[in-house]
Amino acid sequence: MKFFVDTADVTEIKELAATGLLDGVTTNPSLVAKAKRDFREIIAEICAAVPGPVSAEVAATDLDGMLKEGRTLARIAKNVAVKVPLTWDGLKACRALTGEGAMVNVTLCFSANQALLAAKAGATFISPFVGRLDDSGADGMELVREIRTIYDNFPELKTQILAASIRNVLHVKQAAMIGADVATVPPAVLRALVSHPLTDKGLELFLADWRKTGQRIV
Select the more confidently predicted residue: 26 or 33. Answer: 26
Q: Residue 74: its pLDDT value, please? A: 98
Percent of the chain with pLDDT over 90: 95
Q: Does position 34 have pLDDT exceeding 90, yes or no? A: no
pLDDT tens, residue by residue, 106-138: 999 999 999 999 999 999 999 999 999 999 999
Average pLDDT over residues 72-81: 97
Confidence of residue 160 (pLDDT cuts 50, 70, 90): very high
Q: Domain spanning 2-193 has what CATH number?
A: 3.20.20.70
Q: Does position 37 have pLDDT exceeding 90, yes or no? A: no
Q: Does position 77 have pLDDT exceeding 90, yes or no? A: yes
Q: Residue 15: its pLDDT value, please? A: 95
Average pLDDT over residues 85-93: 98
Beta-bridge partner residues of 126? 106, 161
Q: Residue 29: its pLDDT value, please? A: 85
Can you give the three-state secondary structure of the chain, one letter per residue?
CEEEEECCCHHHHHHHHCCCCCCEEECCHHHHHHHCCCHHHHHHHHHHHCCCCEEEECCCCCHHHHHHHHHHHHCCCCCEEEEEECCHHHHHHHHHHHHCCCEEEEEEECCHHHHHHHHHCCCCEEEEEHHHHHHCCCCHHHHHHHHHHHHHHCCCCCCEEEEECCCCHHHHHHHHHHCCCEEEECHHHHHHCCCCHHHHHHHHHHHHHHHHHCCCCC
Catalytic residue among 2, 34, 36, 83: 83
Q: Please, what is the average pLDDT of the chain? A: 96
Q: Does position 28 have pLDDT exceeding 90, yes or no? A: no
Q: Does position 32 have pLDDT exceeding 90, yes or no? A: no
Each domain of the chain, given as residue ranges in start order, spans 2-193
Catalytic, 83? Answer: yes
| Cβ-proximal residues to 143 (8 Å cutoff; 6+ apart), any chain | 109, 110, 111, 112, 115, 128, 130, 133
